[in-house]
Structure 1
Amino acid sequence: MFIIQHFPFSYLCTRFQNKNMDPESLFAGLSYIELIGYAGSLIIAISMLMTSILKMRWFILVGNITFIVYGSFIGAYPIIVLNAFNLAVNAWFIWQAYKLQGNYAVLSAHLNAPMLDRFLVYYINDIQKYFPSFRSFDNEDVVFLIVKGTAVISVTGFSPNKDGSYNVVLDYVARTHRNLKPGKLLFERENVFERLNTDALYARSYHKKHSRYLRKMKFDATGHDDVFVLRNRAC
């Protein structure tokens, strides 16, 4: 739901063509009303880059508010009405998304489950950005699916070690649902330690974003080879 508004972009284009212009003076001469309009355009443009539907709707909502303010200043009632309508629609979808936050479930998965196989095949290219060594699960691995409603949004697999600990061989959330909720559900609320009958989980990070995610999940750095550990603090 992207609304393209009309602004005097030729003004900025003309300034960009002036190679001798100081960057700080690019927006010189623009009124604060015009700046509000350009800010709204920028926010909507950024929303188009969001892979998370919820984040996208939040950005669009802020953009709608910005356009309503802009339209009020210039007396453009069609802009106000259109963005007020879009604001209401986005607010409703955001409310529905948070209302359904509790509609998650963690399910054990058989390694030959068609649903699991379909998920891995569909997302394999993105999976290997964060888990480059992952190809498939081994027979002794334990796999959990996180579903929202009836849709699989996350797959996490654990491989047992001889000392009773487990390695996290895959912890992937679909792009459209990528936030901290699935991880917190599995590692905090569902007590994965009890499910696996273990006291320690190890995870290797191949990506800075994944390292940040592990820290937010309360994994601690072990100090070597980008390996993190999460211990059962209930023991």
Structure 2
Amino acid sequence: MDTELLVAGITIAELIGYTGSLIIAISMLMTSILKMRWMIFSGNVVFIVYGTLIGAYPIIVLNGFNLVVNAYFIWQAYKLQGNYAVLAANCNAPMLERFLVYYVNDIRKYFPQFEKFEEEDVVFLIAKGTAVISVAGFRKNDDGSFNVVVDYVANTHRNMKPGKLLYERENIFSLLNTDTIYAQSFHFRHTVYLRRMGFKPSEDGNAFVLKRP
């Protein structure tokens, strides 16, 4: 490859170097640890190519080492994917209260109407290993259906896996003994999440509904 070839006044090698720097910079903005490691991993690959093109062996060695380290931690993260558990929680449980207090500002972005759980609410904590990463609370309606009060995953572990665990593997309908669950969305990311979990817009368009298959 001709590394001196100019693209908008920049050599191919320089363009690749800038791309690697941009990828690393974006990775620093990631709140998900796993996504951050994947971005850094990609940046390492780009910098290895860059170092090869300009003959900078220290860059190759450093990024090669970082690539191996990131690959190991990514592998460890996927190895622990099955290490999730859904735990029923009392509304006054200290761990639940601590979780809600710690993430209160982020929770309100997605659930601005949430203040606290009521005594009759059904609440679950989702743990990964020994760490609580998610809380889901449901409130029963007079017709036996349930409303989602909160369904929140900590931003450091935010992906679809806790939701899939709760709504599919653990069969939320059996846990709640209901056929219908309603949810509202106040954030476009939560709307995407609800759709991924199988929720459909209600007939009046004011909520999302999930029915037992």
TM-score (norm 2): 0.96
2:33 to 42, 53, 58: 53
Partner of 2:150: 170
Deviations 1:48-91 (A, max 9, x none): 11000000000000000000000000010000000000000000
Q: Give 1:41's aligned residue.
A: 21
Aligned partner of 1:141: which letter? D
2:140 corresponds to 1:160: yes
**In the alignment, which residue of structure 2 is the partner of 1:191?**
171
Find the structure with the greater CA-based Rg: 1
CA contact (8 A) 1:106 1:186 kept: yes
The DSSP-based 3-state class of the residue aligned with 1:140 is coil
Alpha-carbon shift at residue 223 of structure 1 (Å): 4.2
Q: Does 1:213 align with 2:193?
A: yes
Task: Tell me the distance in 1 between the aligned counterparts of 2:29 and 2:49.
Answer: 24
Residue from 126, 129, 151 that aligns with 2:131: 151
The 3 A distance-change label for structure 1 pair 196 and 86 is same
Structure 1 ranges of 4+ moved more than 2 A: 223-226
3-state SS of paired residue (1:111): coil
Indicate the residue corresponding to 1:142 in structure 2. Answer: 122
Separation in structure 2 between the aligned mates of residue 224 and residue 128 of structure 1, nearest angstrom: 25
2:184 aligned with 1:204, yes or no?
Answer: yes
2:57 counterpart residue number? 77
Residues 93-112 of structure 1: pairs in structure 2 closer than 5 A = 93-112=73-92
What secondary structure sits across from 2:139 in the alignment? strand
Q: Distance in 2 between matches of 1:208 and 1:175?
A: 15
One-letter amino acid of the structure 2 residue matched with residue 146 of structure 1: I
Could you tell me which runs of 5 or more consecutive residues in structure 2 were left unpaired when the two chains were aligned. Answer: 1-6
After superposition, give the CA deviation of every residue in 1:169-217 in whole Å (9 maximum; x if it has no partner): 0000000000000000000110010011000100011111111110011
1:4-43 superposed matches below 5 A: 28-43=8-23
Kindly state the Cα deviation for residue 31 of structure 1 after the two structures are TM-superposed: 1.3
C-alpha separation in 2, matches of 1:162 and 1:125: 31
Q: Is the 8 A contact 1:36 1:70 kept in 2?
A: yes
In structure 1, runs of 5+ residues without a counterpart are: 1-26
Q: Tell me if structure 2 keeps the 8 A contact 1:166–1:201.
A: yes
In the aligned structure 1, how far is the partner of 2:60 from the partner of 2:206?
51
Q: For 2:178, what is the secondary structure of its paired residue?
A: coil
C-alpha distance in structure 2 between counterparts of 1:172 and 1:94, whole Å: 24
What letter matches 2:28 in structure 1? M
One-letter code aligned to 1:107: L
Secondary structure at 2:38 match in 1: helix
Aligned residue number for residue 87 of structure 1 = 67
Q: Residue type matched to 1:178 in 2?
A: R
The number of equivalent residue pairs is 208
Shift of 1:225: 5.0
